[in-house]
Structure 1
Amino acid sequence: MQDNCYDVRIHSIEKRKNADGVVTSYRVSWKVSGKSWKERFSTAAQADAFRSELMTAARRGEPFSRRTGQPVAWKRELPVMSWYAFTLAYVDAKWPYAARNHRRGIAEALTDATEALLTNDEHPRESLRAALRWSYSGRIRDAEQPPPGLADTVRWLHTHTTPISALTEPGSGAVLTRAILARVSQTKDGNAAAANTSNRKRMVLNNAMEYAVEIGALPANPLKAVKWSKPRTLTTVDPRVVINIHQARRFLNAVEKHSERGRRMKAFFGCMYFAALRPEEVVDLRKEHLVSLPESDWGEMRLTNAEPRAGSRWTNSGKVRERRELKHRAKGETRSVPIHPELCAMLREHVQQFGTGPDGRIFIGPRGGQMTDRAYLKIFHEARTQAFTSVEAKSPLMDVPYSLRHACVSTWLNAGVPAPQVAEWAGHSVDVLLRVYAKCIYGQQRDAMRRIWEATQ
């Protein structure tokens, strides 16, 4: 496709305001061949001057570049884009479409990468990282001025990171790219990061580099020019974390005996063990989701949403949790899960004793608030210590609440429930299910060997 284009539409200047209605910046937006472009300026005069130059070029019939969005004649005069300016553009492009926790993951990866591309270390490290976290929250940056303690650091970042074009310079570009990869492979203390963490950050960087190529900031993805061995990651559930039914009942009894708050959480943890719910799905569970709770039979729940914890910086509402569609499901899609008779009894007793929240939420705090991570993690670890023997407590056995879900899925598979049915109930694909839980399927080796023996006679 030819780069030059004459289909240009230039819009009015948009004032960007914070939550108090104060104008914080001015944005010029325009379209080239239907693709939107935008530039942000701190003053109205700067925005007006830039828009006037675009208008003049369009009126003269000058061609615009589909690659840069600007008049072709400006090619030699384009300002050098710093790494920091590029990361802000990338965050703005990803923010509307990224899940809340993915937004946080993007910020973490870019913060580490930017540390490797600073031109000097004039500012304290913690101040720099705080300024970068503020910068990479698209909602906060659009609505607020930098906090007083970070304003100078944010301004400094605009002029003290390496130009992004340096990443593709012969020789030196590879050195810079390796420095970025080395940094995202380490913790803040310089120790090796967990394999899953470093690989996740590398995926974010790769996507960012592809975006840089897309907008014309780089001619090619520099990560592809560097040979870098990715650390091996554990993709299967460790069988040592999976509890059996007897250990599960001991744990749930310990939760119930822990305290008043613990009694409110017995069915909460029961939903993870008997129905394989994720923590964010249990938090959102409402009375309308409980299709049936029979006295002496299996019941049914139909899940519609989840409320993952992302942190107030990364949500649209500014709340710690934000309701969204189920994981791996399209918006509006539901998931039916059977309710074990033991869990039916727990849920009936829970609703009868504690009622529900104003929005029908099943699990609420003593004062009617949402069940928080801090509250249920405290009960979880203390009840685990009380329920398990000293040997069990020191082992990886059920070391985190998510292990209850692993135990449920493993139980279903070992009970002989077909994998497609387990995947449907658990909200997995069959491929992921079998890959993740491959080591947790017990007792089938002997049967498999018997069948092979019979087939070879």
Structure 2
Amino acid sequence: MSAEHNNPAGRPRGSARPGYSFDVKLWKVSKTGRKSRPWRLRWVVAGRVHGDTFTTSALAESRRSELWQAMNRRGEAFEIESGLPESEVRAAAEAAEAADAEPTLRWFEFCRKYVAGRWRTAAAKTREGMADGLAAVTLAMVKRGDGTPEDESLRLAFRWGIVPANEGEDPPAELKAAYEWITTTDRPLCDLADAEVFEDVLYRVSYKLDGTPAAGDTYKRRRRALNGALEHAVATGELPENPLQRTRRKRVGSHDVVDRRVLVNAVQARQLLTSVSYVGSWDRCRGRRLVAFYAVLYYAGLRPAEAVGLRLADCHLPENGWGTLTLRETRPVSGKQWTDSGERHDRRGLKAREASTDRPVPIPPVLVAILRAHLKEFGTAKEGRVFGNERGGVVGSSTYWRVWEEAREYALTPERIDSPLAGRPYDLRHACITRWLNAGVPIAEVARRVGNSPEVIHRRYHGCIDGHEEAANAKIAKALEEEGDIAQ
């Protein structure tokens, strides 16, 4: 049943140092009767029983062989407390000492290094997206206690501190306390392997500060940021595996489908464009400067950032007939801290395309006329851009949002103002795409003109195409009639 310690090293009994003994008995592998770990190995050190269970008999026999060799071949003493051979106790102590000697990488320092490594090759929007996603995770990666700053302050402090240019600088006075809390109470990176900590991480990614679910796009962006950071941690050996890969993806917020309620018809669109011209004083032209801006969203399906970057050289505007806008760049809005130029508008190539490629978009005569009238009255802005502010600078997102909100109040009835109808300038693009689809333009051609994939167009707009339900009902009715004829 058992194997006695032979002590081949020749040390007399009792010569083991305190806490250790050569009095070891090793028992044979037996069965536990349990399903999860059915094999048991037991041994006795100085009268004290030790044991372990295993999932297979092979593992149990392998462990028994290790202990037998320590007993009979190497003549090791066993620690009475743990029941382990002296060599294993020593190895564990050395590993623990090495771990204590090497500083543990903490969450904020890891994020700072990770973001700095990606900064040079990332667009401003990508940088901001990374910062936002990792800031959400940070709320789960700091320890809570008396005096913990508000979550919003912690989030803003992280976003400030993660910018490479701010390393070594003093934080703004209003963020100082939150920044100190993040940098002194943040958890070690390895805490992400803790199931309870990571559950809180997933919550922070999925929900807003007020406890309501985050929008679908926000959740996806945060999850991408977290996944990229975790994959980097695995690649550099900081984490043994990516814990995000063990979790099922949750559906949170919107399902990326356009809401039919935001779509304007032709009459409503014309009323809104007319109302834009009444916003602001006539001499400053605040609204009139943007009528053509909103028109290119509605008639050509441009994104606002694409319209901001449109240049006169990109426009073919004949006196009669159709024209063409050849899109070459986009000017997405980001904070100054995220751009290389220090300006709020980054200069990028077209979305989802190579930097050197363009996208020609045919435009109808009505839009050609609107653009010709705009250029005749206002000329071009700096760098030959079609649209600019009063000083010739880039049109800011806050400007075209405020003008649009005021125009809706002029154009819509009170009950419509409170509805989602054309709630955002971007909804004009949705209306354009829906109109083309309902006109019978093939999905592939619509996708080419607006700079999306056919899969995205089909997924986002399938519920906005009119006539499909009626056509499907007619086909079903015809089939039922034919089946009735056959039954007769």
TM-score of the superposition, structure 1-length normalised?
0.77
Secondary structure of 1:324 counterpart = coil
- Out of 391, 394, 411, the residue aligned to residue 435 of structure 2 is 411
Work out whether residues 177 and 226 of structure 1, in 8 Å CA contact, stay in contact via their aligned partners in 2.
no
- Corresponding residue number in structure 2 for 1:266: 291
Secondary structure of 1:258 counterpart = coil
Secondary structure of 1:264 counterpart = helix
Deviates more, 1:255-264 or 1:233-242: 255-264
Work out whether residues 242 and 403 of structure 1, in 8 Å CA contact, stay in contact via their aligned partners in 2.
yes
Task: Tell which has more relative contact order, 1 or 2 (C-alpha 8 A, sep 6+).
Answer: 1
CA distance in 2: counterparts of 1:374 and 1:217, whole angstroms? 42
Correspondence 1:182 to 2:182: no
Paired amino acid for 2:371: L
- Out of 343, 360, 370, the residue aligned to residue 336 of structure 1 is 360
Paired residues for 1:91-110 under 5 Å: 91-110=115-134
Secondary structure of 1:88 counterpart = helix
Work out whether residues 161 and 167 of structure 2, in 8 Å CA contact, stay in contact via their aligned partners in 1.
no
Paired amino acid for 2:116: D
Deviations 1:231-254 (A, max 9, x none): 263221111111111111111111
Work out whether residues 215 and 253 of structure 2, in 8 Å CA contact, stay in contact via their aligned partners in 1.
no
Paired residues for 1:53-72 under 5 Å: none
Secondary structure of 1:301 counterpart = strand
- Out of 285, 288, 307, the residue aligned to residue 331 of structure 2 is 307
- Corresponding residue number in structure 2 for 1:350: 374
Relative to structure 1, the CA distance from residue 130 to residue 297 in structure 2 (aligned partners, 3 Å threshold; closer, same or farther) is: same
Deviations 1:90-135 (A, max 9, x none): 2122222333222112111211211212234445235533331112
Secondary structure of 2:210 counterpart = coil
- Corresponding residue number in structure 1 for 2:149: 124
Relative to structure 1, the CA distance from residue 113 to residue 387 in structure 2 (aligned partners, 3 Å threshold; closer, same or farther) is: same
Paired amino acid for 1:313: Q
- Corresponding residue number in structure 2 for 1:423: 447
Secondary structure of 2:275 counterpart = helix
Paired amino acid for 1:124: P
Work out whether residues 95 and 103 of structure 1, in 8 Å CA contact, stay in contact via their aligned partners in 2.
yes
CA distance in 1: counterparts of 2:272 and 2:400, whole angstroms? 14
Deviates more, 1:275-284 or 1:149-158: 149-158
Following superposition, the deviation at residue 296 of structure 1 comes to 2.8
CA distance in 1: counterparts of 2:247 and 2:348, whole angstroms? 38
- Corresponding residue number in structure 2 for 1:282: 307
Deviates more, 1:187-196 or 1:296-305: 187-196
Following superposition, the deviation at residue 340 of structure 1 comes to 1.4
TM-score of the superposition, structure 2-length normalised?
0.72
Paired residues for 1:6-405 under 5 Å: 77-121=101-145, 122=147, 124-125=149-150, 127-138=153-164, 140-141=165-166, 144=169, 146-147=171-172, 154=179, 157-168=182-193, 173-226=194-247, 229-231=250-252, 233-259=254-280, 260-290=285-315, 292-405=316-429
Paired amino acid for 1:131: A
CA distance in 1: counterparts of 2:101 and 2:302, whole angstroms? 56
CA distance in 2: counterparts of 1:156 and 1:258, whole angstroms? 46
CA distance in 2: counterparts of 1:228 and 1:331, whole angstroms? 32
Work out whether residues 174 and 225 of structure 1, in 8 Å CA contact, stay in contact via their aligned partners in 2.
no
Deviates more, 1:123-132 or 1:253-262: 123-132
- Corresponding residue number in structure 2 for 1:437: 461
Deviations 1:212-237 (A, max 9, x none): 11110000112234457442632211
Work out whether residues 217 and 256 of structure 2, in 8 Å CA contact, stay in contact via their aligned partners in 1.
no
Following superposition, the deviation at residue 282 of structure 1 comes to 0.7
CA distance in 1: counterparts of 2:427 and 2:249, whole angstroms? 33
CA distance in 2: counterparts of 1:155 and 1:241, whole angstroms? 44
Deviations 1:409-451 (A, max 9, x none): 1111111111111111010111111111111111244345556
CA distance in 1: counterparts of 2:474 and 2:320, whole angstroms? 38
Work out whether residues 149 and 178 of structure 2, in 8 Å CA contact, stay in contact via their aligned partners in 1.
no
CA distance in 1: counterparts of 2:429 and 2:251, whole angstroms? 29
Paired amino acid for 2:112: L
CA distance in 1: counterparts of 2:348 and 2:222, whole angstroms? 24
RMSD (Å) for aligned C-alpha atoms: 2.5
CA distance in 1: counterparts of 2:478 and 2:209, whole angstroms? 58
Secondary structure of 1:281 counterpart = helix
Relative to structure 1, the CA distance from residue 239 to residue 151 in structure 2 (aligned partners, 3 Å threshold; closer, same or farther) is: closer
Secondary structure of 1:439 counterpart = helix
Secondary structure of 2:199 counterpart = helix
Relative to structure 1, the CA distance from residue 413 to residue 274 in structure 2 (aligned partners, 3 Å threshold; closer, same or farther) is: same
CA distance in 2: counterparts of 1:153 and 1:451, whole angstroms? 63
- Corresponding residue number in structure 2 for 1:55: none
Following superposition, the deviation at residue 145 of structure 1 comes to 5.2
Structure 2: tracts of 5 or more residues without a match: 1-97, 483-488
Secondary structure of 1:81 counterpart = coil
Following superposition, the deviation at residue 142 of structure 1 comes to 5.2
Secondary structure of 1:220 counterpart = coil
Larger Rg belongs to: 2
Structure 1: tracts of 5 or more residues without a match: 1-73
